[in-house]
Amino acid sequence: MVAVDALPRDAQAFGDLLADLGCAAILDGAVLALRGDGWFDGMADDDPRRAALVETLDALPGPVALLVEGRPAWLQRRLRGLLALSFLAPDADRALACWRDALDDTPEGEHIAHEMIARFRALPGAIYGAVDAARRRAALDDGGALTAADVALAMEGQVEQALSGVADRVEGSLGWQDVVLPDEVREALFDLRAQARHRAQVFEAWGFRRKLDYGRGLGCLFSGPPGTGKTMMAGILARDLGLPLYRVDLSRVVSKWVGETEKNLARVFSEAERAQVILLFDEA
């Protein structure tokens, strides 16, 4: 398996290395898998690597697997013999089954599974990877039984790794008692907190996720002069909800290449949705 974004940016070197990898896979009796995540969707229309990719893959006699998040239209138009297979993210029931299977031999497995399903929207690979990492950590610490805290820590580690380079976790210790707010602002923030806290009940238990194709996110705009507590309030909300807060560094997200910017933003929002974290876009 090869991460496509690790290949050279130069089109000629990109195509040459891709051809070498394809030949090596054939000689080993293996299948070359190219993991793109948002890379294929984020490529600019005039990126010369598009032509290099299509030309190289068309010339390879063996099968090649392209692992993508979306379904890039240009790939389907230009690659001959492309067979597109869709793997949907698991719903709550399937995700719970994955957690139960991964935690099958854990004494508190059922309790941990329900706690994790309420906190994270993880894909199967992330679920099994987190449980495996949590087992190793628990064995190194004291050899005791696996706990929900161990698994949650492993899941959060996956998020930090996925968002590294574009966002940093913000830790806070303040609470509602540390701020003085006008009544109307405090009530609006409490309404926001209630909506965030009961999203799972509304979308999953009541089935509204199936009825809404878009608009399921929750965003809010804090405006005001510097020093009025916008960032502090985001931290208080996150701490009250028990959700991690990540500050997105826009200077590391926005690129002179439009496709690169789209890829970075897609990565940020995708990971935030899976891990149920709060994103803070701070213009400062």
Residue 7 tokens, joined: 């290949």
Q: Is the pLDDT of residue 29 over 80?
A: yes
Enumerate the domain spans of the chain. 2-78, 92-162, 167-281
For residue 164, what pLDDT is reported? 81
What pLDDT, on the 0 to 100 scale, is given for residue 38?
67
Comparing CA positions, the residue from 172, 74, 162, 88 lying closest to residue 126 is 162
| CATH annotation of 167-281 | 3.40.50.300
Q: Give the Cα-Cα-Cα angle 182, 186, 188 (nearest 5 degrees).
A: 120
73 pLDDT band, cuts 50/70/90, is confident
The full DSSP string for 211-248 is: G-SS----------STTSSHHHHHHHHHHHHT--EEEE
Residue 37 pLDDT: 67
Condensed to tens digits (0 to 9), the pLDDT of residues 160-180 reads 888 887 888 998 889 999 999
Angle at alpha carbon of residue 110, lines to 105 and 115, rounded to 5°: 125
Structure tokens at 48: 């010369």
The pLDDT-based confidence of 283 (bands split at 50, 70, 90) is confident
| Phi, psi torsion values for 146, nearest 5 degrees | -70, 140
> Is the model's pLDDT at 40 over the cut of 80?
no
pLDDT above 70 for 136: yes
Label residue 186 by pLDDT band (50, 70, 90): very high
Pairing mode, if any, of strands 167-170 and 245-248? Answer: antiparallel
Does the pLDDT value for residue 280 go beyond 70?
yes
Structure tokens at 85: 């297979």
Assign 101 a pLDDT band (cuts: 50, 70, 90): very high
The first and second tokens of residue 170, run together, are 């913000």
Output the pLDDT for position 284: 61
For 37-72, b/e burial (b = at least 16 CB within 10 A) is bbbbbbbeeebebbebbbebbeebeeebebebeeeb
By CB neighbour count within 10 A (0-12 exposed, 13-18 middle, 19+ buried), where does 226 fall?
exposed
Q: How many residues does the chain have?
A: 284
Per residue in 54-72, pLDDT tens? Answer: 888 888 888 888 888 777 7
Is-above-0.75 flag for pTM? no
Question: Residue 261 — pLDDT band, cuts 50, 70, 90?
Answer: confident
User: What percentage of the chain carries pLDDT values higher than 90?
Assistant: 29
Q: Is the pLDDT of residue 258 over 90?
A: no
User: Cβ neighbours of residue 281 under 8 Å, at least 6 residues apart?
Assistant: 248, 250
pLDDT of residue 92: 81
Tell me the pLDDT of the chain averaged across its residues. Answer: 86
Q: In the prediction, which pLDDT does 267 show?
A: 79
pLDDT given for residue 282 in this prediction = 84
